[in-house]
Amino acid sequence: ELAMKEIGKDFLWGGAIAANQAEGAYNRDGRGLSTADIQPFISGADPVDLHFNDLDSSTYEKYRNGAYFYPKRQGVHFYDRYKEYIDALAEMHVKTLRLSISWSRIFPNGDDAEPNELGLAFYDRLFEYMKSKNIEPIVTIFHYEMPLNLVDKYGGWANRELIDLFVNYGQTVLNRYQHVVKYWIIINQINLIHKEAFASLGILKDQADHYEQAKFQAIHHQFVASAKITEFAHQLSPTLQMGMMLADTLTVPYSCDPADVKLNFQRNRMQYFYSDVLLRGEYPEYALTYFEDHNIRLEITESEKELLRNNTADFLAVSYYWSNTVKAGENTMDPNSTVKNPYLKENRWGWSINASGLYLCVSKYWDRYRVPMMIAENGIGFRDVLTADCKVHDNYRIEYHQEHIKALLEAVREGANVFAYCTWAPFDIISAGTAEMTKRYGFIYVDYDDEGNGSGEFHYKDSFYWYRHVIDSNGQDL
Ligand code: BG6
């Protein structure tokens, strides 16, 4: 049988969520407004068009001050109901839950002199409860939300001041939770700055004279902040494991036409840029050339270069959902520019299904970096149907995870060192991209709808029992 021996007894099977998509309670216990709180759900819009990402100032003002329904303000009430959720996960036998801390719960304005004690206390309770159920927390410090004040007053991550503000927040949570949290991911999907510029960088596109340059300068600030937080953590305790994270966006060429092959190569190399800096500790030549060719001038100091060199990440976290195909002539270097792969099926949001892509990406990252890896997210969104007797027969989801876990185990068998597999998401939460509730990923059906109504009851889908069995057999029986 495939690979089974290579998955250790302590392999972390689990799931992943983010604070802004689950917690709700957006204005409670001193929490400040965050960028996620102003993302509306627009009923009747084509899900494919429900983007919230490349925002300009006027759309920002419209959403900020408009009378929309903002699903992330209530999430799935995880803040109040976390014990019920953790109990259900314990019943599924998960060993880990990756989740994030809401920055504006800890520093409501991002630049406050003191952290908000009530916000810190919530995560004390949560992590302690998880520990009592033997669920290991893997904590993301920054997952697609930041105090809104940092957009208004500083212009988001394009501003160098964000480095110290974020480092202060990072140090605060590391100090506080160092004894309960061993694994940390500093920034969610750091490479997704093209479509996700607002969610990940807090930049409004009309505020920068040179938008591309502003985004890469912002990324530089995230790199430096990551290195500083890593340095701090390593001084604090040698047991802390500090991770960087990529959304896997490696592509394949549409054909063996040399032009497709070359574009594909160049595209992929620019995707390695982020991990090359954070895992190898320096800006690669190909990226410097790219910046020069695109008239992107970055401010990078000598001491920052040294900081990056000396404080590389301990592990690589990767999220994987689908694969991309590029074709010369039609596509450019923009990571959002892709063509459909005729061999693959898609879900209704246009996300293709390709399990072998997970095998490829894990193997490629392993070959390049030789650092421990975790699958931080993997899953498929569907409009699940709840039957009259409250079941969800989600064979499509079982099949998706079955194939992806097989692909992962194949890469492990060939040497990749992977310590965790987190499904996105173990229970239904609000979608990051579209703010829908009904783009469901969970093994546990959570009865809320797109307008935030519903009983909130949990119903275990067929996939719940399947995944529990996978965990019980440590991946031997898929
Ligand atoms: C990842 C994000 O990009 O994809 C998650 O880290 C997100 O926050 C997940 O939920 C799935 O995307 P969506 O838009 O379907 O929720």
CB-ligand 1 contact for 382 (6 Å cutoff): no
Nearest residue to 426 via CA among 99, 11, 144, 80: 99
Structural domain includes residue 392: yes
- Burial of residue 91 (number of CB atoms within 10 Å: 0-12, 13-18, 19+): middle
CB-ligand 1 contact for 72 (6 Å cutoff): no
Structural domain includes residue 366: yes
pLDDT over 80 (residue 5): no
pLDDT over 80 (residue 337): yes
Q: What is the CATH classification number for the domain harbouring 373?
A: 3.20.20.80
Structural domain includes residue 477: no
The answer to whether 406 and 452 have CB atoms below 8 angstroms apart is no
Nearest residue to 321 via CA among 269, 374, 357: 357
Structural domain includes residue 393: yes
Q: Could you report the per-residue pLDDT of 229-243, keeping only the tens digit for each?
A: 999 999 999 999 999
Out of 377, 427, 438, 441, mutate this one to test ligand 1's pocket (max ligand atoms within 8 Å of CB): namely 377
Q: How far is the CA of 247 from the centre of ligand 1 (A)?
A: 10
The answer to whether 279 and 350 have CB atoms below 8 angstroms apart is no
CB-ligand 1 contact for 276 (6 Å cutoff): no
* Parent domain of 328: 4-472
Q: How far does CA 236 lie from the centroid of its chain?
A: 25
Q: Could you report the per-residue pLDDT of 90-126, keeping only the tens digit for each?
A: 999 999 999 999 999 999 999 999 999 999 999 999 9
Structural domain includes residue 358: yes
Out of 431, 434, 436, 438, mutate this one to test ligand 1's pocket (max ligand atoms within 8 Å of CB): namely 431
The answer to whether 260 and 253 have CB atoms below 8 angstroms apart is yes
Which residue has the CA at smallest separation from atom 15 of ligand 1?
431
CB-ligand 1 contact for 35 (6 Å cutoff): no
**Overall average pLDDT of the 350-356 stretch:** 92
Q: How many domains does the chain have?
A: 1
Structural domain includes residue 302: yes
Instruction: State pTM to two decimals.
Output: 0.96
Structural domain includes residue 142: yes
CB-ligand 1 contact for 381 (6 Å cutoff): yes
Q: Could you report the per-residue pLDDT of 22-79, keeping only the tens digit for each?
A: 999 999 999 999 999 999 998 877 665 556 778 889 989 999 998 899 999 999 999 9
Structural domain includes residue 284: yes
pLDDT over 50 (residue 2): no
How far apart, in whole angstroms, are the C-alpha atoms of residue 427 and residue 123? Answer: 19
